A and B are shown apart, each in its own frame.
Chain A
Amino acid sequence: MQPKQSIAATGNNLKIVSLISVGKHPQSGRVRRADQDSRAVELGMKLLDSGNPTGGDSLVVLHAGDPKEPGLRGYAGMGLNSVQVLELDPAADAVAPLGEYLQQFAPDIVLTGVRAEGGESSGMVPYQLAEKLGWPIVPRVADIISVEAGVAEVLQALPRGQRRSLKIRLPFIASIDSAAQDARQSAYGPASRAMMDIEIVDSSTDQLRENWSEAPAKKRPKRLKVIKAKTAAERFKAATAKSQSEGGKVMQNESAAEQAQAIFDLLLEEGVLR
């Protein structure tokens, strides 16, 4: 369904900013480009490619933090000439300087990830920026289909592969969902060569966070399924149905109709027949 339409080249002279953070690999914890953020860069690059052929559009890839952070090189390797870095202490609050930068730069579209891969990862940054700038925000965007006359048409990712179409007035902030187009490969050569455009900024440290404690995620116990059935018969049914699906039930001698019934029941129970 991913629409293949190209962005109408209407000479928008779009100014796009993709915000990037330092990602963390879920298995190794090693620094990397964050998955959603790199999709945000990808979408930015796509808008650029499909936009005004005379090249009026521009894309700035922006990070607030340590410019020497190797994770940033991963984004650069997507073919960026430079990465704009607002240099500040990584423990400092990034929203204020980002907000100021955006206010001055006045982009049309700001793309971010939905949640960061490190730290609090509450997904609040785009909302705080939107609030600060007074711009609308669209969360979980899968694609931007067109930008015309100051209005963008975006596809929002809904659960189970569904999509919602939205129109939104520029300028706006969009957080990019994992359902958006995969980021292109990061190549070593361009990653090493890209420039870090550094601007040193001031920001207060995030004091609230200093009082927090962090630990590796504990495994959460699965909630015991308490039988909610109101009668013995129902409960009995629930109990037997449960044992069927969990034990890896094999139906060998039943008739095809019985087998199909069992499959049907399971599909129904899982709620995938709609």
Chain B
Amino acid sequence: MIFEWLHPFLIVTALVLMVIGAVRRVNLWRAGQSDQIDLIAGLMAMPGRYLHDLHDIVERDKYMSKTHAATGGGFVLSAVLIILVHLLGIDSQILAWALMASLALMFVGALFVFKRRLNPPSRISKGPWMRLPKSLLAFACAFFVLTLPAAGVLPEGTGGVLLTLVLTGLIIWGMGELFFGMTWGGPMKHAFAGALHLAFHRRQDRFGAGRSTGLKPVDLSLAHEVGGVLGVAKPTDFKWNQLLGFDACVQCGKCEAVCPAFAAGQPLNPKKLIQDMVVGLAGGTDANYAGSAYPGKDVGNAKGGPNQIITEGLLDPETLWSCTTCRACVEECPMMIEHVDAIVDMRRYLTMEKGQTPNKGAEVLDNIIATDNPNGYAPASRTNWAADQNLPLMRDVKEAEVLFWVSDGAFDMRSQRILRAFVKLMKAANVDFAVLGDEELDCGDVARRLGDDATFQSLATRNLAVLSQYKFSKIVTTDPHAYHCLRNEYNDFGSDALNGVEVLHHTSFLNELVQQGSLKLNSFSGGKVTYHDPCYLGRYNGEYEAPRELLRSMGIEIAEMERSGFRSRCCGGGGGAPVTDIPGERRIADMRMEDVNSTGAELVAVGCQQCTAMLEGVVEPRPQVKDIAEILVDQLAEELH
């Protein structure tokens, strides 16, 4: 073959450029803040994480998982073999055949990618991503032909100048995309960054079917440092592995497809947000972004750099405030990117440094600070709702089997109905319980999601101090937000008040009681029922079964919504979104009610007072909305004690 030296030279060039690119890219990430990660262990665990954790998510889309396995697996194998065969020149027919086989595998995979891209759904990005399947095909074809002689299929030196030129062109294209592009910002970057992201993920607990949903606390000592910044102002304020995570995005748009704010026409698209973070960490504009925009905003105007304030040019703060922190995006993301962490990090800067929590946000925070509840009610009126309930107070009894965490629902007339129902059920089951009364404070959920971690930490430490005075083995609440805070976020404050304490949502607890036979229920006969999974119960805490089992125990056959379980669509009530209330084209709750309507249900069961409020805020006529505790209490079989 003429130009014998040419192809090895090209391969070497591509590889060298790839390494240079990799170093540069790594340096971009290293501009972020340090984070405690065991690098070696991470790297060792990486292949396993790819095969299990990541694959489990991709596997939800069978077509794509097979396609990716073929293409990706084929490529990795081919790359190794290419180096062996074509660069190191190891003359082995077996290797050559293996290479051809892996290239064929890759080729087939790429064909399926190509096919999917013929009529792409709106969620996936176009632009360079449309080129990728063709690049893959070119790469596979070129090296296939190039390997034919080595496999002994064709004699050495077959083909003329023309074929060589064509092959060379294809090789340059293919390697340009797959090697050079991998570290210089092409679509294949996802493979490089994605692999490292799996190794150095900020939430190592997520792997091995684990769950890690609690937000990380802000180091408040920065507040006293001149030049200190609370939260994330510039891309370099992120932890380095967060930056790495952004780079792993494949722009598949799975997050966009499930984002309730995006669907409601609010100016948020989690995919675009991650891509804007990439623009920020690398510097530049979003002009090359080829996916859906933030609803109501044009693409091309965003500019940023590693040391530029994100909300001044790169992102409109409204984008950040539209998020309900429902975690649907995180749940769906095949690259296990943490959108919510990033969003809250940036909100922290806006709230704690700039004082720019929009709309009612500032007022709600002021109220929480001054009265420990979001509406500014007199703290001493927290137990007014229970004036007729005769609830034992922890202050008096000091010890109880169950501590009932009442939550701020205590101040809200609608939520009080849920609280009363739950109390009645506990009394019916003779549960030994007590409440904190006026000693209970807001759990801090809203403050934290609105970016005011200082207030959250203050509430958490004060609540923990109260809790540590009493003895109880379970803490049960009807509010999934409080549940999440108590269970997942109160551990960071060095208190042992919750050590050995089981934190439970009331549906889990009631389910235990029902299964034990402590609660006798009549069967329900009130028409068709569906169940709405609250984000903070389901995705945040993995409790999908207990509420369903409870409903079934009343003989209810749940008419499931299409989006239920881990795919449940948010009611719009989380993350302080009702408070910041960023306008969109419709209300998230209205869309959820449409989901309910499409099941034909007359009653939607929920397990959260916030969901109840949101869904009842939909104008009538609409199905009834009831907390499971309320449904149960109506079916309580009256027993003589």
Contact = CB atoms under 8 A, between A and B. Distances in A.
A and B touch in the complex (CB under 8 A): yes
Interface of A: 25, 27-28, 30, 32, 77-79, 184-190, 192-193
Given A32-B366, A188-B454, A193-B226, 20 more contacts: A25-B370, A27-B370, A27-B379, A28-B378, A28-B379, A30-B370, A32-B369, A32-B370, A185-B351, A185-B357, A186-B355, A188-B220, A188-B352, A188-B452, A188-B455, A189-B229, A192-B224, A193-B223, A193-B225, A193-B228
B353 A189 contact: yes
A183 B450 CA distance: 19
B355 A78 contact: yes
Kindly name the residue among B229, B357, B365, B370 whose own CB sees the greatest number of chain A CB atoms within 10 A.
B370
B356 interface: yes
Kindly name the residue among A28, A30, A186, A189 whose own CB sees the greatest number of chain B CB atoms within 10 A.
A189
B116 interface: no
A189 B227 CA distance: 10
Contact of A187 (B220, B355, B378): B355
Interface in B343-365: 351-357, 362, 365
Contacts of A184: 355
A180 to B, nearest CB: 16
A187 B453 CA distance: 11
A181 to B, nearest CB: 13
Given A27-B377, A28-B378, A193-B224, A188 B371 contact: no
A29 B376 CA distance: 11
Contact of B370 (A28, A78, A187, A192): A28
A86 B186 CA distance: 62
Contacts of A190: 353, 355
A25 B228 CA distance: 30
A173 to B, nearest CB: 27
Nearest to A77: B355
Contacts of B376: 25, 27
Interface residues of B, number: 30
Given A25-B371, A30-B370, A189 B379 contact: no
B371 A28 contact: yes
Given A25-B370, A28-B370, A30-B371, A189 B365 contact: no
Contacts of B365: 185
Nearest to B371: A28
A7 to B, nearest CB: 23
B230 interface: yes
A189 B230 contact: yes
A189 B370 contact: no
Chain A binding surface SS class: loop
Interface in B17-49: none
B371 A27 contact: yes
Nearest to B354: A187
Contacts of B226: 193
Contacts of A192: 223-224
Interface of B: 220, 222-226, 228-230, 351-357, 362, 365-366, 369-372, 376-379, 452, 454-455
A184 B352 CA distance: 13
Nearest to B218: A188
A117 to B, nearest CB: 11
B378 A189 contact: no
Contacts of B357: 185
Nearest to B222: A189
14 contacts: A27-B378, A27-B379, A28-B379, A30-B371, A32-B366, A185-B356, A185-B365, A186-B355, A186-B366, A187-B354, A189-B352, A193-B225, A193-B226, A193-B228
A25 B547 CA distance: 41
A52 B378 CA distance: 44
7 A-B pairs with the lowest CB-CB distances in the bound complex, closest first: A187-B355, A185-B355, A185-B362, A192-B223, A25-B370, A27-B378, A188-B454
A185 B350 CA distance: 11
A28 B357 CA distance: 23
B355 A79 contact: yes
Contacts of B354: 187
Contacts of B351: 185, 187-188
B227 to A, nearest CB: 9
Contacts of A185: 351, 355-357, 362, 365-366
Nearest to A25: B370
Contacts of B379: 27-28
Contacts of B362: 185
Contacts of B229: 189
B371 A187 contact: no
Nearest to A192: B223
Contacts of B371: 25, 27-28, 30
A79 B376 CA distance: 24
Contacts of A78: 355
Contacts of A79: 355
Contacts of A189: 222-223, 228-230, 352-353
B230 A188 contact: yes
A189 B352 CA distance: 5
B582 to A, nearest CB: 17
A28 B367 CA distance: 10
Contacts of A28: 370-372, 378-379
B182 to A, nearest CB: 40
A184 B225 CA distance: 23
A187 B455 CA distance: 11
A30 B454 CA distance: 17
B367 to A, nearest CB: 9
B222 to A, nearest CB: 8
A11 B471 CA distance: 67
A216 to B, nearest CB: 11
B352 A187 contact: yes
A30 B229 CA distance: 28
Contacts of A77: 355
Contacts of A27: 370-371, 376-379
Contacts of B356: 185
A77 B370 CA distance: 15
B74 to A, nearest CB: 51
A53 to B, nearest CB: 20
A192 B372 CA distance: 20
A229 B373 CA distance: 47
A187 to B, nearest CB: 3
A199 B142 CA distance: 81
Contacts of B230: 188-189
A187 B233 CA distance: 14
Contacts of B366: 32, 185-186
A27 B224 CA distance: 30
Nearest to B454: A188
A184 B363 CA distance: 10
A78 B362 CA distance: 12
A29 to B, nearest CB: 9
A25 B366 CA distance: 10
A27 B366 CA distance: 12
A32 B378 CA distance: 15
A188 B369 CA distance: 11
A228 B128 CA distance: 85
A193 B222 CA distance: 9
Contacts of B220: 188
Nearest to A191: B223
A185 B450 CA distance: 13
A187 B366 CA distance: 10
Contacts of B222: 189
A192 B369 CA distance: 15
Contacts of B355: 77-79, 184-187, 190
Contacts of B452: 188
B148 to A, nearest CB: 65
Nearest to B361: A185
Nearest to A186: B355
A218 B16 CA distance: 83
Contacts of A188: 220, 223, 230, 351-352, 452, 454-455
Nearest to A195: B226
B535 to A, nearest CB: 27
